[in-house]
A and B are shown apart, each in its own frame.
Chain A
């Protein structure tokens, strides 16, 4: 059974650019959620995808968007990058019927915006 994998592990982008982060959910998990974690702070919920549709969103602007694919993998896209977008981006997946119980996290993508 594979866990949650995220790519890339590290990324450096310039302010104003666009970035795509990828997440492969754990085998058997159909719900994926994304979090932003600034240095020294707890993760902030960005959004969640279930059956290829967004079914929950935190307080993030529309330039943060996502996708979920039929194989339940997911992408997080951020447009018009700002310096404050520099953070660790975490992806978590959870199994059918146990969205409240079985969150497994990936190791994250460290995004630096310069």
Chain B
């Protein structure tokens, strides 16, 4: 069964600290993996998109890694800011019935405290 699991479910850190969010998936065949940031009640905003051949991709203070062999990805946030408080969702694009489909993780709720 195609699944995406994220950990931790929630995380509280102090402003300025770093953190790492995890994503494990069982989606096959696999097209690409992306991390989204979603503020409460708003649509997801793409942070990174990675194909199976890419190991690392950065977007400012966000750095995503991908290990296609172990089917694991991580999102590292450096020098956190209050505006980083949001849900971070890992999404894997799989191929089902000749169509691309997004398989969503449940997200990690990140809270940055001053």
Contact = CB atoms under 8 A, between A and B. Distances in A.
Interface of A: 4, 6, 33, 41-45, 48, 55-56, 88, 90, 99-101, 103-108, 110
The 8 closest A-B pairs by CB, nearest first: A105-B43, A42-B104, A100-B100, A100-B31, A107-B43, A56-B99, A42-B106, A108-B43
Contacts of A43: 44, 102, 104
Contacts of B104: 42-44
B14 interface: no
A101 B106 CA distance: 20
Given A43-B104, A88-B41, A103 B99 contact: no
B101 A45 contact: yes
Q: Is the interface of B mostly helix, strand, loop or mixed?
A: strand
B102 A108 contact: no
Nearest to A90: B43
Contacts of B99: 48, 55-56, 99
Interface residues of B, number: 23
Contacts of A44: 104
26 contacts: A33-B102, A42-B104, A42-B105, A44-B104, A45-B101, A55-B99, A56-B97, A56-B99, A88-B41, A90-B43, A90-B44, A99-B100, A100-B31, A100-B93, A100-B100, A101-B31, A101-B49, A101-B93, A103-B102, A104-B46, A105-B36, A105-B45, A107-B43, A108-B41, A108-B42, A108-B43
